[in-house]
């Protein structure tokens, strides 16, 4: 069938889609979701030997009339002279071989590394539709992936994009997430870099949380760089804290995450390759993995976390990364601040003056940094945390952080006092005396997000009293910052309707 090209001014995301009028689709015997092979007419080919796209159907002639083929903006994005193609012939064609491999996983069969490569290649080239990828993710969620498959997936995802090689001594940290206020990266990187370890830290923006490491770091310095700029920063400073999203590392992983997120799925079989491919692409050879355990995290109990840790170490080893894992407490936020700017402020305050604390941030950061220092041979086993605390206390980590900020184009003389919050704010006070028995992470996240996090950097929350603290009636216990009065009102409403995230209790469990 020969068709006239009609450009549609709309992007479809990664998947290659073309639109036919329902009459032509019927004539061709094709249904929505099926595949067609496209060839240009009266000129050379459409730029590649063959282009396969997934069919969508228009039931209105005004969108795509009979005799026309609707081409989305991005379907021909990478094709030379695409705008000169006036006429296209269209032919029914089969699903790619990789779809048969997805069906194998549905049937509970193991996939070979070639089969996994094929799925990943077709995902990246737009030859697998969203519902086919959803089927793959669902099948992995239910039927799992064995160590061999996770290894192959990690390598295939890594090959799908750019990757760095910085030699053998390359260190990193990562967290499986789920605990608010976890700004430890902003402390760990300068500590281990001050000790001379090479650490090309790439991080993400918040996905479901009030702030990601990238969001907080962006308060202190630019974070989006291309490969050459990253190499320059690392060649100067041996360390960075950048946003991975500006690099073309592991696009296959990003494509899977785009489907996993709305499905609320994050199966271990995809989670481990997702972490490892990002590290492998950054040239990382030794890694400490922070695994927060507790309600609201991916690992409700330490036993769950341990099982994951042992599996993670195995897969990491098979892709050439030595990993150590730390199960960490996640029952309340790390430190007192949650939100992009307020977390940067808290981290910078600690870097400048160890005595400012807070304790939970010092302990967790130096625990993890200490493991890296031991892995890197900077100190004997068991002495890493002491060394990390000494580096932090001495001001060397602060100096290193200023150099990283400068190398990334920020102002190295930025002070915690310079970091603006609010301007709208609301404080909450204890209505009775007692001591804090619980701090509810989930309510804190809801309040922070209602206040504008992570999009508004200056929004956030400050927790003045944490578990075990004794308080008097009228003590300041909580503060919300927001960039907008109406968002502040929404956040206040959540505080009031939930009874607040900070639970005061005595010793009595129940009065009967």
Active-site annotation, residues:
266
Q: Establish if 311 lies at the interface with a second copy (CB under 8 A).
A: no
Q: Give the nearest distance from C-beta 234 to a second copy in angstroms.
A: 28
Q: Establish if 146 lies at the interface with a second copy (CB under 8 A).
A: no
Residue 19 region by backbone torsions, left for phi larger than 0, else alpha for psi between -120 and 50, else beta = beta
The only residue of 129, 203, 274, 281 in contact with a second copy, by rule CB under 8 A? 129
Identity of the residue, 75 or 328, whose beta carbon is nearer to a second copy in the bound complex = 75
Query: Where do we find the tokens 């650490």?
Result: 199
Count of chain residues binding a second copy (CB under 8 A): 49
CA distance linking residue 36 with residue 14, whole number of Å: 17
Identity of the residue, 24 or 229, whose beta carbon is nearer to a second copy in the bound complex = 24
Number of alpha carbons in the 13 Å side-chain half-sphere of residue 231: 9
Identity of the residue, 125 or 141, whose beta carbon is nearer to a second copy in the bound complex = 141
Give the DSSP letter string of 113-162: HHHHHHHHHHHHTT-S-HHHHHHHHHHHHHH---HHHHHHHHHHHHHTS-
Q: Establish if 97 lies at the interface with a second copy (CB under 8 A).
A: no
Contact stretch for a second copy (CB under 8 A) within 27-35, 345-353, 362-370, 379-387: 27-35
Identity of the residue, 60 or 165, whose beta carbon is nearer to a second copy in the bound complex = 60
Q: Give the nearest distance from C-beta 445 to a second copy in angstroms.
A: 12
The only residue of 44, 81, 86, 108 in contact with a second copy, by rule CB under 8 A? 108
CA distance linking residue 35 with residue 55, whole number of Å: 6
CA-to-CA dists, residue 389 to 108, 183, 188, 374, 379, angstroms: 49, 16, 10, 13, 13
Q: Establish if 446 lies at the interface with a second copy (CB under 8 A).
A: no
What the block records as the tokens of 375 is 């892995």
Q: Establish if 300 lies at the interface with a second copy (CB under 8 A).
A: no
Q: Give the nearest distance from C-beta 62 to a second copy in angstroms.
A: 5
CA distance linking residue 257 with residue 303, whole number of Å: 26
Q: Establish if 21 lies at the interface with a second copy (CB under 8 A).
A: no
Contact stretch for a second copy (CB under 8 A) within 32-40, 237-245, 320-328, 395-403: 32-40
Q: Give the nearest distance from C-beta 221 to a second copy in angstroms.
A: 20
φ, ψ at 39 (rounded to 5°)? -135, 140
CA distance linking residue 457 with residue 340, whole number of Å: 5
CA distance linking residue 221 with residue 409, whole number of Å: 6
The only residue of 50, 83, 84, 263 in contact with a second copy, by rule CB under 8 A? 263
Q: Establish if 29 lies at the interface with a second copy (CB under 8 A).
A: yes
What letter does residue 76 receive in the DSSP assignment? T
Identity of the residue, 108 or 300, whose beta carbon is nearer to a second copy in the bound complex = 108
**Collapsing DSSP states into helix, strand and coil, what is residue 212?**
coil
Contact stretch for a second copy (CB under 8 A) within 129-137, 297-305, 357-365, 495-503: 129-137
x/- contact string, 47-86, with a second copy (CB under 8 A)?
Answer: -----------xxx-xx---------x-------------
The only residue of 17, 18, 38, 139 in contact with a second copy, by rule CB under 8 A? 139
CA distance linking residue 351 with residue 335, whole number of Å: 13
Identity of the residue, 22 or 112, whose beta carbon is nearer to a second copy in the bound complex = 22
b vs e for 119-140, b when ≥16 Cβ sit within 10 Å of the residue's Cβ? Answer: bbbbbbbbbbbbebbebbbbbb
Identity of the residue, 6 or 435, whose beta carbon is nearer to a second copy in the bound complex = 6
Number of alpha carbons in the 13 Å side-chain half-sphere of residue 30: 28
Q: Is the dihedral of CA 302, 305, 311, 314 positive or negative?
A: negative
Q: Establish if 26 lies at the interface with a second copy (CB under 8 A).
A: yes
Identity of the residue, 295 or 320, whose beta carbon is nearer to a second copy in the bound complex = 295
Q: Establish if 27 lies at the interface with a second copy (CB under 8 A).
A: yes
φ, ψ at 171 (rounded to 5°)? -115, 160
Contacts for 416 with CB less than 8 Å, ≥ 6 apart: 345, 346, 348, 349, 352
Evaluate the omega torsion of the peptide bond into residue 14 and state whether it is cis, within 30 degrees of 0.
no
φ, ψ at 402 (rounded to 5°)? -65, -40
Q: Give the nearest distance from C-beta 1 to a second copy in angstroms.
A: 11
φ, ψ at 488 (rounded to 5°)? -60, -40
The only residue of 48, 131, 433, 476 in contact with a second copy, by rule CB under 8 A? 131
Identity of the residue, 415 or 455, whose beta carbon is nearer to a second copy in the bound complex = 455
The only residue of 106, 271, 329, 469 in contact with a second copy, by rule CB under 8 A? 106
The only residue of 7, 87, 89, 103 in contact with a second copy, by rule CB under 8 A? 103
Q: Give the nearest distance from C-beta 258 to a second copy in angstroms.
A: 7
CA distance linking residue 111 with residue 116, whole number of Å: 6
The only residue of 41, 65, 134, 503 in contact with a second copy, by rule CB under 8 A? 134
Contact stretch for a second copy (CB under 8 A) within 131-139, 151-159, 172-180, 302-310: 131-139
Q: Establish if 9 lies at the interface with a second copy (CB under 8 A).
A: yes
Give the residues lining the site for a second copy (CB under 8 A).
Answer: 8-11, 13, 19, 26-29, 31-34, 58-60, 62-63, 73, 95, 99, 103, 106, 108, 129-135, 137-139, 141-143, 207, 258-259, 261-265, 449, 454-455
């Amino acid at each position: 069938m020969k068709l006239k090209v009609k450009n549609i001014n709309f992007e479809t995301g990664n998947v290659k889609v073309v639109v036919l009028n329902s009459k032509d689709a019927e004539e061709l015997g094709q249904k929505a979701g099926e595949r067609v092979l496209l060839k240009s007419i009266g000129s050379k080919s459409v730029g590649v030997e063959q282009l396969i796209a997934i069919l969508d159907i228009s039931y209105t002639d005004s969108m795509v009339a009979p005799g026309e083929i609707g081409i989305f903006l991005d379907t021909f994005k990478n094709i030379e002279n695409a705008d000169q193609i006036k006429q296209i012939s269209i032919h029914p064609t089969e699903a790619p071989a990789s779809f048969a491999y997805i069906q194998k996983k549905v049937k509970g069969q193991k996939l070979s590394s070639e089969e996994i490569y094929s799925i990943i290649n077709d995902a990246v080239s737009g030859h697998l539709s969203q519902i086919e990828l959803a089927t793959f993710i669902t099948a992995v969620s239910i039927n799992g992936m064995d160590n061999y498959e996770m290894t192959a997936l990690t390598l295939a995802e890594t090959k799908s994009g750019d990757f760095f090689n910085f030699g053998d001594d390359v260190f990193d940290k990562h967290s499986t997430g789920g605990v608010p206020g976890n700004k430890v990266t902003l402390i760990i990187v300068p500590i281990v870099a001050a000790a001379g370890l090479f650490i090309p830290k790439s991080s993400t923006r918040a996905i479901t949380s009030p702030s990601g490491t990238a969001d907080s770091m962006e308060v202190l310095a630019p974070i989006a760089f291309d490969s050459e700029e990253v190499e320059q920063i690392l060649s100067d400073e041996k360390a960075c804290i950048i946003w991975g999203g500006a690099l073309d590392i592991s696009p296959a992983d990003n494509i899977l995450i785009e489907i996993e997120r709305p499905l609320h799925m994050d199966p271990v079989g995809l989670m481990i390759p997702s972490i490892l491919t990002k590290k492998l692409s950054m040239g990382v050879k030794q890694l400490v993995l922070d695994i927060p355990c507790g309600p609201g995290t991916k690992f409700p109990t330490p036993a769950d976390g341990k099982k994951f840790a042992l599996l993670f170490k195995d897969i990491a080893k098979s892709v050439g990364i030595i990993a150590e894992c730390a199960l960490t407490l996640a029952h309340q936020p790390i430190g007192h601040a949650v939100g992009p700017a307020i977390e940067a402020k808290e981290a910078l305050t600690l870097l400048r003056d160890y005595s400012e604390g807070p304790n939970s941030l010092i302990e967790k950061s130096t625990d993890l940094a200490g493991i890296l220092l031991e892995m890197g041979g900077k100190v004997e086993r068991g002495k890493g945390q002491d060394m990390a605390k000494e580096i932090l206390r001495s001001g060397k980590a602060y100096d290193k952080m200023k150099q990283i900020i400068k190398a990334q184009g920020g102002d190295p003389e930025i002070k915690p006092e310079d970091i603006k919050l609010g301007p709208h704010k609301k404080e909450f006070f204890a209505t009775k005396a007692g001591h804090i028995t619980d701090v509810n992470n989930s309510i804190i996240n809801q309040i922070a997000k209602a206040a504008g996090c992570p999009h508004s950097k200056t929004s956030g929350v400050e927790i003045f009293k944490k578990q075990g603290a004794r308080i008097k009636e009228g003590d300041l216990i909580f503060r919300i910052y927001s960039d907008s009065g109406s968002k502040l009102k929404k956040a206040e409403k959540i505080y009031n309707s939930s009874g607040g995230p900070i639970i005061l209790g005595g010793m009595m469990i129940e009065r009967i």
